[in-house]
Structure 1
Amino acid sequence: MPMCGGLTELKQADEKVQLICDQMKPHTEQKTGRNFGVFTAKSYKTQLVAGTNYFIKVHVGGDECLHLRVYEKLPCYGGELELTSLQHSKSHNDDIEYF
């Protein structure tokens, strides 16, 4: 069972994480001022808080990746998703760390 507040081990992205990325793509494009032809979730870690933070490595073309932090509210608070932070210029080899 994950420890509350700590990051989980790295997991390969699944359908749920790709759906989160699909919903966050327009927000990411707005924040970065770029349009992404490729936006594929590769791997992720989660953090249990009053909801869940998803730290997701997203391939955006070539050798470039972004790291997204997406907050998912608890279902009793509506379960909405919010892009809370992102890191630019990451590679496929960069580890996902807390940010």
Structure 2
Amino acid sequence: MQNVYLFIQVKKDLEDKIGQKSVYNALTFRVTDTEIQYIAKVNVGEDECAHVKISQTLPCYGEEVKLVDYQFPKKMLDIIEPF
């Protein structure tokens, strides 16, 4: 459930960047490296998705969560790959 919470924190940033106001939920998450970074496939309506990279600093540095990068548009069947 922590991964869903991470996405909720960057949801507005993604909506602002892709011009969509219908971002619903993150479908999958993968840890990308030893720094706490995640990649998520996010459904933004119908068969359209965005792939987002989310960074979270370690607790000792404040646990800041931010949207690092995104790929849009993507389709539901597009495989999520590190970027």
For the criterion TM > 0.5, the same-fold answer is yes
Describe the SS at the equivalent of 2:32: strand
What's the CA shift for 1:89? 1.2
Larger Rg: 1
Corresponding position of 1:9:
none
Q: How does 1:7-86 map to 2 (within 5 A)?
A: 15-32=1-18, 34-49=19-34, 51-86=35-70
2:48 counterpart letter in structure 1: E
8 Å Cα contact 1:54-1:69 kept in structure 2 = yes
Larger mean CA deviation between 65-74 and 16-25 belongs to 16-25
2:56 counterpart letter in structure 1: E
Listed as ranges, the gaps of 5+ residues in structure 1 are 1-14
Corresponding position of 1:95:
79
Describe the SS at the equivalent of 2:51: strand
1:39 counterpart letter in structure 2: Y
User: So what's the TM-score if we normalise by structure 1?
Assistant: 0.76
Describe the SS at the equivalent of 2:11: helix
Larger mean CA deviation between 84-93 and 16-25 belongs to 16-25
Within 2, Cα distance between the matches of 1:35 and 1:96? 20
The runs of at least 4 aligned residues of structure 1 exceeding 6 Å deviation read: none
Within 2, Cα distance between the matches of 1:41 and 1:29? 13
Listed as ranges, the gaps of 5+ residues in structure 2 are none
User: So what's the TM-score if we normalise by structure 2?
Assistant: 0.89
Identity %: 34
What's the CA shift for 1:41? 0.9
